[in-house]
Structure 1
Amino acid sequence: MATTAPAPLRSGDKVAIVCPARKASAEELAAAVATLQSWDLEVVLGESTTAAQHQFGGSDEVRARDLQRQLNDPSIRAILCARGGYGTTRIIDQLDFSRFAQDPKWVAGFSDITALNSHLLALGHQSIHGVMPMLFHQESGEESLESLRRALFGEEVAYSAPAHALNRLGTATGELTGGNLSLLQTLTGTRSECPTAGRILFLEDIDEYLYAIDRMMVHLERTSKLQHLAGLLVGHFTNPQDNTIPYGQTPNEIIDHYAGKYGFPIAHHFPVGHEPQNMALICGREARLVVEETGAHLTYL
């Protein structure tokens, strides 16, 4: 299914910040708001950015209502999810994308927002997997933030990763899909699940036990998510955990054990995930991945 790309942002456009998962506050978002205003954008803080229920940005009802309002409002040209955490899957089935489909807009975020990225792609809409407002000003994150700006405004973006011993050489062309590994497993069998056949999959995660990474890779293989990939980008697996008895493999080695048997190109240590180097990837956009001895390169077609 061909995917729909929202129109690029233009100077003066209005964008909304929402909290579909973990809570934030206006104070925490102030610096990001100033940055968006410096891009000549008008910023609207959604209801969920001033709400809280335990760790969430308000109740499920509040978060769903806020996101629905921004999805429906034709004056809002992009929706930026303030942060990840947990909670997007709790509200995803309450959302109606029928009005959004008539006039798509950019939705951006990563981590728990993988659920929204994947759901949109399942409906045929492109979205941005990229740095979120709560992380706009993390140390050494300037390049990631600039990549988000370029993606939102429709400017050219291309990325490179250094050579890695586990890389699999080759060239692949396909639409990008993926995100947080644990979320992708959670979405399997739901309306938010995306086909991977013929696509370039990207994976990242944080704080996961090594055995759990292995278990999730087994799940991807058993549900035929790996066999027919065009290519694979292995992003950051930040702060992996281990048991008293060591698991014995790194996250990259675990992923290679399953993905490496199929012959498609693989680029390890790609700059995406829970690190300052988290380049904006457009889910659903066709791209070309070239993995050579000297490193890997990703460009959009």
Structure 2
Amino acid sequence: MSIDLEMPPKLRPGDRVAVLSPSFAAPGLFPERHEQALRRVREELGLEPVEFPTTRRLGATPADRAADLTAAYADRSIRAVFASIGGDDQITVLPHLDPAVFRADPKPFFGFSDNTNLLNWLWFHGLAGYHGGSTMMHLARGGGVQPVHLASLRAALFDGGDLVIEPVAEFTEEETDWAQPISLTEPARPVPHPGRVWHQPDRVVTGRSWGGNLEILHWNLAADRWLRPVGDYAGGVLLLETSEEMPPAEEVFRMLRNFGERGLLRQFPAVLVGTAKATVFTSPRPAAERPKYRDEQREAILRAIDAYHPEAMVVFGVDFGHTDPQWVLPYGGAITVDGPARTIVAHF
């Protein structure tokens, strides 16, 4: 890639970290779950969580949420920033941010879903982050934090080095009702994982990652504000995953077609696709119908790849984004996709 990205420094035990709500302030609606997440930041990670005025404030304005992000990055005692959860309007927060504040003290940002907006904004301004790590979703999980999530989170925060992003044997796309106390102690029932599918695994690619939630990326494409010249993405590893809104396969194809027409798809020799979430409690899909949704999405993505970058290597069924368990991945850091060995390695 032609852009030079700055990786944030590692933390030390006892460091202070911000827990913010740049999108939806779920901590204000589910305070018990939020408190469980804060306890696990202390107990599992050995860090001291710090809240800001809008962390629990439902309906906070974009300007106020931006002010908290700015304050967290301006505070030299804060060494990392965690998003509590996603949402649907973070793109309106970005115009209120001053990149000079963020560049003055780079620190790791963790989030996914609507937080793809901020990850992409940081990337645009030369700062790397981490895709994943929502406190409400994964740290507060009933039954404890998933081992793969904790391992990759610790690697991003402390350990560094290379971490193999292994396939998982079981996963769940069910949810527990956060309004019920049982959600704090019991996880959703897991089922066998559908497995990874490798397309054209004939090479080894190491590149800086970019991408995230497809729907949010498409919003950024429509806004046409925080996307760099396409050549700046050349040689990278593209991360793609869809949300609990479960866009139809044809819509996935059309969104990727738009990326292709802009010249973006052509830039990435390797693509990692998250295990697609195929049900949500507000619109449940029978278990027997979920593989069909994932198969149709895979076919739609391959149709777009075939049209705009037929040489690309693609791996489906990687557990990042809207998945449980969830691997935290570098965003702007290096990832190696080794097709012949069928391995993915994140370089933290």
Name the TM-score, length of structure 1 as normaliser: 0.89
The residue aligned with 1:184 is 217
Local SS of the residue matching 2:136: helix
The aligned counterpart of 1:295 is 342
In structure 2, what is the equivalent of residue 152 of structure 1?
157
Match in the other structure for 1:193? 227
| Conservation of the 8 A alpha-carbon contact between 1:21 and 1:85 | yes
2:64 is equivalent to residue 62 of structure 1: yes
Match of 2:296 in 1: 250
Alignment correspondent of 2:129: 127
Contact 1:266-1:291 at 8 Å conserved across structures: no
Deviation of 1:165 (Å): 5.7
Between the aligned partners of 1:119 and 1:21, the Cα distance in structure 2 is 14
Q: Is the 8 A contact 1:71 1:97 kept in 2?
A: no
Change (3 A) 1:270 1:248: closer
Structure 1 runs, 4 residues or longer, greater than 4 Å off: 246-249
What is the match of residue 111 of structure 2? 109
Distance in 1, Cα, partners of 2:4 & 2:19: 28
- Following superposition, the deviation at residue 142 of structure 1 comes to 3.3
Determine the C-alpha separation between the residues in 1 that align with 2:131 and 2:293.
Answer: 30
Equivalent residue, structure 1, for 2:49: 43
CA distance in 1, matches of 2:46, 2:160: 16
User: Which among 241, 259, 270 is matched to residue 220 of structure 1?
Assistant: 259
After TM superposition, the structure 1 = structure 2 runs for residues 136-147 of structure 1, keeping only pairs within 5 Å, are 136-138=139-141, 141-147=146-152
Q: Which has the larger share of helix? A: 2
Letter in 2 for 1:47: P
Q: Conserved in 1, the CA contact under 8 Å of 2:269 and 2:311?
A: no
**Equivalent residue of 1:212, what SS?**
helix
Q: Secondary structure at the match of 1:79?
A: strand
Letter in 2 for 1:160: E
Give the direction of change, closer, same or farther, for the CA distance of 1:239–1:8 in structure 2 (3 Å limit).
Answer: same
Q: How far is 1:163 from its partner? A: 4.8
Q: Distance in 1 between matches of 2:66 and 2:196?
A: 43
Cα gap change, 1:66 to 1:289, in 2 (>3 Å): same
Shift of 1:167: 5.2
Distance (Å, rounded) in 1 between the aligned partners of 2:342 and 2:296? 20
Given the alignment of the two structures, is residue 277 of structure 1 paired with residue 325 of structure 2, yes or no? Answer: yes
Match of 2:102 among 100, 103, 113: 100
| Alignment check: 8 A CA contact 1:233 1:266 kept | yes
Q: CA deviation at 1:273?
A: 1.8
Identity of aligned residues (%): 26
What is the letter of the counterpart of residue 217 of structure 2? L
For this pair of structures, how many residues does the alignment match?
293
Q: Deviations over 1:158-207 (max 9, x none)?
A: 21345526454321121011100011111125332254321100100122
Cα deviation code 1:99-156 (max 9, x no counterpart): 2212211111000000101110111111010120001243673321331122111433
Kept in 2, the 8 Å contact 1:164–1:295? The answer is: no
Change (3 A) 1:66 1:146: same
In structure 2, give the amino acid aligned to 1:211.
E
Distance 2:11 2:294 in 1: 47
Q: Can you give the 5+ residue segments of structure 1 that lack an aligned partner in the other structure?
A: none
My pick for the range that moved more, 30-39 or 189-198, is 189-198
Aligned counterparts of 2:120 and 2:198: Cα–Cα separation in 1: 30
Q: Amino acid of the residue matched to residue 264 of structure 1?
A: A
**Alignment counterpart, residue 263 of structure 1, candidates 311, 326, 344:** 311
- For the residue of structure 1 that corresponds to 2:266, the secondary structure is coil
